[in-house]
Amino acid sequence: MIRATGLTARLLLLTSTIAIAAPAIGKAAALPIANRTSFRLGDAGVMCTAQSKATDVRLTGMFDRAYVLTCRDAASAVGSLLAVRRSVNPATEPSALKAGALSCSAPTQVTIDGAGPVSSLTCRDEATKLDYKRYSLTRGKTTYLVEGLAGYDPALRLALGSVVANQPQRGAVRVATTEISDAAAFARTQAGSLDPAAARIEAYTLNNGGQFAQSDQYFETIALRDRNDKMAYSEALANQGLQQSNLSNFTAAVRLLDQAEATTADPQLSSDQPDQPAQARRGVGRTGQAGRADCVDRR
């Protein structure tokens, strides 16, 4: 018989401990989606996650689940997902996002990994000119619906596939090249996901970086949001006009500046506010040190 030394015994004990712990680690990694409070969407590209939201007002039963979908490059949620034991009309189900009235196209059928054939809708918020995607299916007693910004379509598909399959699906979230035809359209999608203050800051940053088409899309989205605040609305229009000037679209620039001036001509507006349209008009057709007309700011 071979007697184990003290070192050998400790090594044997460590090996057995690892062997016992390994299955536990494997089980943790394979924890079903239904038992998690959050999970990553895909395994490459932009970091996006699904976070359980028990306070979602659309939940009505004890077996219902809801998730909010967020991505690292967006300041607010880009989508949401429902798994509920009730019927859902994909075209009229309320959105968890801050979207206006949506007009949706006729449903089509697409296949999503992990979910199989699903009903697909493309919707549009005419006020902000933003597109949204909705996917739905019924499996047994449960109806699944994922909805969100079309620019984040890969994240929406991965979320639905993961929840339906009850395990994470592999895939990459490539936001800028999916459902977006160019950088300006992507900027509009990003602006729609940001709160107004953050969108304004990003618009100025893009202008300062010479990305005039993208900055224009941000200011256009801001103008659509700020229609009830005449000073903010005038500022956004004036700055959008400057971006058009920077892009050598002088006819559009003059039209936007005329619209901004018409807004600030309201006698109810404070007379001590700077004349932003006039400031902006002086920059049309001219270039500053950076080869552009700079933005105006009422703050």
**E strand segments, the chain:** 38-40, 44-45, 48-52, 65-71, 79-84, 102-104, 108-112, 116-125, 130-139, 142-149, 172-173
Model pTM above 0.75: no
pLDDT of residue 160: 98
CB 259 within 8 Å of CB 171 = no
CB 201 within 8 A of CB 193: no
Q: Residue 156's closest CA among 142, 177, 136?
A: 136
Residue matched to tokens 């009309």: 89
- What share of the chain has pLDDT > 90, as a percent? 39
pLDDT confidence of residue 6: 53
Residue with tokens 């659509």: 224
Q: The tokens of 127 are what?
A: 């006020």
Residue 193: pLDDT band (50, 70, 90) is low
What percentage of the chain has pLDDT greater than the value 70?
74
| Higher pLDDT, residue 247 or 282 | 247
Q: Could you report the per-residue pLDDT of 40-52, keeping only the tens digit for each?
A: 999 999 899 999 9
Give me the residue label for tokens 């998690």: 36
pLDDT beyond 50 at 134: yes
User: For the segment 42-97, what is each residue's pLDDT rounded down to a tens digit?
Assistant: 999 989 999 999 999 999 999 999 999 998 877 778 999 999 999 999 999 999 88
Query: Residue for token digits 């680690």?
Result: 25
Distance CA 277, CA 258 (A): 8
**Alpha-carbon span 79 to 299, nearest angstrom:** 32
Q: What is the pLDDT of residue 280?
A: 53
For residues 129-138, average pLDDT? 92
Q: Strand 65-71 and strand 79-84: pairing?
A: antiparallel
In Å, how far from its chain's centre is CA 124? 14
What distance lies between CA 209 and its chain's CA centroid? 22
Place of tokens 């999916």: 178
> Does 254 have pLDDT greater than 60?
yes
d(CA 142, CA 115): 13
Q: What are the distances in angstroms from CA 281 to CA 76, 255, 257?
A: 34, 11, 7
- Tell me how many helices (H) and strands (E) the chain has: 8, 11
Half-sphere exposure of 209 (CA within 13 A, CB side): 11
Structure confidence at residue 200 as a pLDDT band (50, 70, 90) = confident
3: its two tokens: 């007697």
Q: How far apart are CA 298 and CA 274, in angstroms?
A: 7
Backbone angles phi, psi at 191, to 5 degrees: -60, -35
Torsion of CA 130, 188, 172, 158, to 10 degrees: -20
Burial of 91 (0-12, 13-18, 19+ CB in 10 A): middle
Strand 79-84 versus strand 102-104 pairing type: unpaired
Task: Identify the pLDDT of residue 178.
Answer: 40
Whole-number pLDDT of residue 79: 93
pLDDT confidence of residue 270: 43
